[in-house]
Amino acid sequence: MTPLSRRNGHLHFEEVALTALAERHGTPLYVYSAGAIEARYRAFAAAFRSHPHRVCYAVKANSNLAVLQLLAQLGAGFDIVSGGELERVLLAGGDPAGIVFSGVGKTVAEMERALEVGVACFNVESKAELLRLEAVAKRLGVVAPVSLRVNPDVDAATHPYISTGLKENKFGVSISDAAALYRYAADAQALAVTGVDCHIGSQLTTLEPFVDALDRVLALVEALNRDGIELAHIDLGGGLGVRYQDETPPGIDAYATAILERLGHRREALMFEPGRWLVGEAGVFLTRVEYVKENEGRHFLVVDGAMNDLLRPALYGSFHGIEPVFDRPGTPAVEVDVVGPVCESSDFLGKNRMLAAAAGDLLAVTTAGAYGFGMASNYNSRNRAAEVLVRGEQDFLVRRRETTADQLAFEQLLPPLPVSD
């Protein structure tokens, strides 16, 4: 489902005009489509309906409570990487028994809380973490369900900042060391081996890295079986790409066919951790042009959205489509850089774009549902944007705009101090 459409020259998201949302809620503004998220989740689940599976949404992609609530109501599990994400999922109605806890730096307090609520599994990323989890579980008198995240040393051919499956990355246990750790875990009274986990990176646009990683994981599973260690599930992570510009990522049915063919007759349940694929194309970022500027032949649209709102272009050099929310018939498009007010040269949303826009116009930055608001900050003491979710003709404010008072509420001035000489 594509929630974005143009009607009589005006962009709509589902059935709601984006101009109306900007008038009601101001800009900059994140807008999410409930229908698009639901359609993506149902498509993923349907593609694997012939095999036992669980779709665990990667909360880091977009952790808004309403988004989590929507996915929980659809029956999704959740992939978390912090105690804060755990509490968000619980508040949104997520079932603890459907939560997998990933991440390389789990603290004792995070482990204790996850054991208390009864998460499905810890995706353990190092020997040190395994030993810490065992000690925590033993002290609490419980058994911790564990899965080792193995690093198969597969090149995902993606941006180096979002590649996670190479031996130089910080994630996971070397696949060559995994068998020994599994044997240790299988013998530990406070640990219960439940599965194996593998995630090689994000925004993958070909199937080969997925298949290569699965082949290596299956070789490990077979070796464990020969040692008498049986696994209940195989977690293949996430990473399936979306279209930002001219990418042609494989469809979900092609992805499922490739995975299921490689799996053969094995009956371990499959687990997946999609994030971007579920929510990326279900979001837009609205921003308003404040100034049109020309500097020695170079044209700029200075907008009220900035790198603190949408960091991906500055951090990764990522491309997002940018469209005028309403057409200007007869106005010629010119090549412009769309830049924000933050005092950094890296503060841009797009460069070298052909746009016809004037001060006061609205722009829609597309495919902004993943890693947008979640990476936002208060840099330059800017307030974070509001978030809205639309369903059909309805819109719901799911996070109000931050205020300066919100920012300052966590700080305090010093008491009067003597003036030093």
Catalytic positions are 343
- In this structure, what are the phi and psi dihedrals at residue 41, rounded to the nearest 5 degrees? -60, -45
**By the 8 A CB rule, do 335 and 354 touch?**
yes
Closest by CA to 288, choosing from 31, 29, 27, is: 27
| β-sheet bridge partners, residue 390 | 33, 395
**CA–CA separation, 242 and 282 (whole Å):** 11
| β-sheet bridge partners, residue 4 | 13
First to last CA, the chain: 68
Residues 6 or more apart whose CB falls under 8 angstroms from that of 25 comprise 386, 388, 397, 401
Burial bucket for residue 271 (CB in 10 Å: 0-12, 13-18, 19+): buried
CB burial of 76-108 (b: ≥16 within 10 Å; e: otherwise) equals bbbbbbbbebbebbbebebbbebbbbbbbebee
